[in-house]
Structure 1
Amino acid sequence: MLLWTGWCCSSPGLQGQKSGSFHNRQQHVISYRGNMAMAISAARFCLQAERTVFSLSPGLRRSVSMPARARFISTSTASNFQFRLDEHTAHSSLDLFKKDTGIIYRMMGLDPTQVQDNPKRFREWAVVFGDSKISSGRHYWEVTVKKSQEFRLGVAEAQMSRDECVGTNSSSWVFGYAQRKWFAMTNSKVVPVTLVGKPDRVGILLDFEAGVLGLVNVERPCVIHALRAQFKAPLCPAFGLWDGELLTHSGLEEPEGLK
């Protein structure tokens, strides 16, 4: 006992070192236990957080994806109507070009003897029909007009007389441009259409069941003027051209602003 006590007392520096090491070990143990406690708490927190994230993530995914899906639905149309111009209906003064999507007016026209005789062809007026018939639904297409001061755009019954011009009977509905003015026309009744100007490109909107044919401003999508009727027979896109050229654009989605 005395030797142990004396050894401890006779070596105060060593005693201090031993005592310091002991305290250090205690501090390390305390620190280790504290770190373990913090680690366990952190693990529990992360586990809870993980449960929270995984429990909320499906809801979050729904809240993010639903608006995107709604926007997709709102900007689409039931069907993107496509057509070409029907060469069999084209008057001899009209030349088709660009894979039958456009027409050019030729003053002299084609030699009638060189044009195949066809009961579908317009004989007196520079008119051509689209090659697709419409008997239901809502459809949209656009038309670019170049270097023309007189033209008509719209729809007509597929069986309309080929001896008449579009807009002059009860089986055709058109928007026309002549003498620097727009007008709507059916059965030879003309209604002025104002605030249009002379755009190079316009849209045509047809809602068969609603009985509406609309002239559309494509730069700021809106219906400028609408013709109302009771459509009963199948319709075709219809075009009249007396100078310049005209190009059709089909297979388009209806602009969102029109819905």
Structure 2
Amino acid sequence: MDLYEIRGGRLDVIAEEAPSGEEYQELGRESATMEPFLVAAGRGGRATRDVSTFQRFSINTNESLHFEPCEDGTEIAKTRSKLQEKVAEMENFAGHLEEIFLTVEENFGRQEQHLEQHYNDVLQTLSQRYDDRAAGLEEEKKSKLEALYNQLVACGRTLDASKELIEAAQELYRSEDKRLVLKVVLVFFAKEEVDLTLSTPLEFKTPLADLSDVKTMMDSINIVPAPSAPVINPQMPNSATQTSLRVCWSLFSDDTVEYYELYYRPVLEDTPVKETHCTVKDLLPNAQYELWVTATNTTGISPAGEKALYMTVPSPPVIKQRECTSCPEAALIRWDSGNTNPVDSYTVELSEMGTDGSQSNITESVVAVPTCQCLIQLQRGRRYLISVRAVNIGGPSERSEALTVSTTGTFFHLLEDTAHPCLSISEDGFTMFYGDEELPLSAMAFDDNTFARCVAVLGDLIPVRGRHYWEVEVDDLTEFRIGVAYEDTQRNSYLGANSSSWCMRHILTPCRHKYEFLHDGWSPDLRITVNPVRLGVALDYEKGTLSFFNVDLEQHLHTFHCHFQNYVHPCFALDNPGALTVHNGIEAPEYAFI
């Protein structure tokens, strides 16, 4: 038997001595007997020990392999493996041939349809030329017949006049007056001569028909058909900017194309190009565009390809400085997307600044940030420049305006959305004012997040467990409360009067200044002899302590001991008109965390 093996695109023949008729029948019976063993070996990856070794093989019409027993099992196993590889190659080649067959059939159908269309166009053109030529000949025939008929009528009238003249001449000739005869004859000859030539030529005008356009159409049938519809490739990552897109497409390899036209929405413009790619400019940032392509050659224009969606790069985000917080170990950066359409993710980039204000050449990135905020781990006592990029399939946006972050101390702003309506927050977000004028309840706007009973406000402390320190400056005639509270502390309660807040309270009495350290409505009995003007607050999550200090005297006032289960916020309240200023971003003194 002969086996065919495909290697490198050619067909090799493996020849084996063909068995005789009896041997072939016997071989078929033995092959059929061994077929189950072969299937079991193929499934398990190797033959079982109960199966004998194999010597010969044959291929039936159903492409099954059958083997006969022999003594050398290793050699036959190799042969079987090799044949299985050959069968797989042949199956792959058959699949490839099937794809080629389908492609040829599809191309033939397109060519046949194209040829039929062209011949119909040629026949229609020739039929139109025939109708035009026949109408012209009919008009020429009509004019010739009319001219000949008019000439025939004129000849008839002339003949009648000639007969009358001859009869008159004969009557005069019989008379005796010869002079009268001569006079009539002279009058006859004085008349104009009759035109005996044809008024119109008998030949028809037969100008050569201009069939150059028909020849061009016939020639185009034998040259190239109109191209098939191009297919736009899916958008590749980083293939766009804020205002441009790089678009690529594909076409059948056997099509001849002179140029392409790219269409896109919402601008609805077309752009002729020669290559199978194009950069479209003057677009909107972070916008989706629908694109399609047509191909053109001397024969015509292809159908429009399937539409594809491309996106331009987003606009750079806008960092919200008032909502960014930091501490010696980390920074929480918040920003606005800056885009109406959603983006895939954000990238936060940071570079360290030197003591002289110079920027490092090394930039670190935090990629694939899904939301508009990111908590970044930093090194203590450094300064960083931080910026944000928005990312979609088109690529990353330009950097946002950089934000300078210092890890010297804890930095935060007052949260205006939590402030009591009687409080005013300064533009820098660090000072709160309680005016003398009392507002009626009807003029106050409360919501679920604002303090309703205590004239208080929360600070936006970074959610990092560690050590935090800030200072508060207030005059000695102002009654205040300062400390920490959980984010969900009761808004219709006073700070320190519940289990979710811890605070130091200053009260003015007729005889002295009174200080309380309140939690859940209870305070130890303490007396402070020197009124502090600048207070330090030290929060230590690890030790579970909240301490208060007189900064001017470096004096410890009181420490709360509590295991804070959740993150807390700095809290500040004024019990009478006055002002309070928060100083943060400063390094904690050594005595704060002893």
The TM tier, using the shorter chain, reads: 0.5 to 0.7
Residue in 2 aligned with 1:188? Answer: 521
Match of 2:504 in 1: 175
C-alpha spacing 1:120/1:211, structure 2 compared with 1 (3 Å)? same
Greater relative contact order (Cα < 8 A, sep 6+): 1
Residue in 1 aligned with 2:278? none
Equivalent AA in structure 1 for residue 447 of structure 2: N
Structure with higher Rg: it is 2
Counterparts in 2 of 1:195 and 1:161: CA distance versus 1, 3 Å: closer
Report the CA distance between 1:256 and its aligned residue: 2.0
For 2:462 and 2:529, how far apart are their aligned partners in 1? 28
Name 1:207's counterpart in structure 2.
540
- 5 Å-filtered alignment, 1:108-127, equals 108-110=437-439, 117-127=446-456
Query: CA contact under 8 A between 2:467 and 2:539: conserved in structure 1?
Result: yes
**AA matched with 1:136:** R
State the partner residue of 1:23: none
1:258 matched to 2:592: yes
Name the SS for the 2:591 alignment partner: helix
Q: Distance in 1 between matches of 2:532 and 2:425?
A: 22
- How many residues are treated as equivalent by the alignment? 185
Quickly say closer, same or farther: Cα 1:135–1:172, change in 2 above 3 A.
farther
Give the fraction of aligned pairs with identical amino acids, expressed as a percent: 31
Specify the code of the residue in structure 2 equivalent to 1:129.
Answer: L
* 1:203 Cα deviation from its structure 2 partner: 0.5
Matched, 1:233 2:566: yes
- Post-superposition Cα deviations, 1:107-141, rounded to whole Å, max 9, x if no partner, equal 43456566554321011111111122445111110
Give the SS at the match of 2:411.
coil
C-alpha separation in 1, matches of 2:407 and 2:585: 12
What residue number does 1:105 align with? 434
Aligned equivalents of 1:184 and 1:226: distance in 2?
A: 9
**TM-score, normalised by the number of residues in structure 1:** 0.65
Q: TM-score, normalised by structure 2?
A: 0.29
Q: Residue 88 of structure 1: SS of its match in structure 2?
A: helix
1:148 deviates by 3.3
Q: Distance in 2 between matches of 1:225 and 1:148?
A: 21
Letter in 1 for 2:472: V
Give the deviation of 1:147 after TM superposition: 5.5
Q: Is the alpha carbon distance of 1:117 and 1:151 closer, same or farther for their aligned partners in structure 2, counting shifts above 3 Å?
A: closer
- 1:191 CA drift (Å): 1.6
1:236–1:196 distance in 2 versus 1, CA, 3 Å: farther
Q: How does 1:38-53 map to 2 (within 5 A)?
A: none
Measured at CA, do residues 247 and 98 of structure 1 come closer, stay the same or move farther in structure 2, by a change above 3 Å? Answer: farther
CA apart distance, 1:211: 1.0
Task: Report the Cα distance in structure 1 between the residues aligned to 2:414 and 2:551, rounded to whole angstroms.
Answer: 22
8 Å Cα contact 2:532-2:552 kept in structure 1: no
Identify if the C-alpha distance between structure 1 residues 113 and 86 changes in structure 2 by more than 3 Å, giving closer, same or farther. farther
Unaligned runs of 5+ in 1: 1-72
* Alignment-derived partner of residue 95 in structure 1: 424
Unaligned runs of 5+ in 2: 1-379, 382-405
Aligned Cα root-mean-square deviation (Å) = 2.4
Q: Partners in 2 of 1:119 and 1:183 — Cα distance?
A: 28
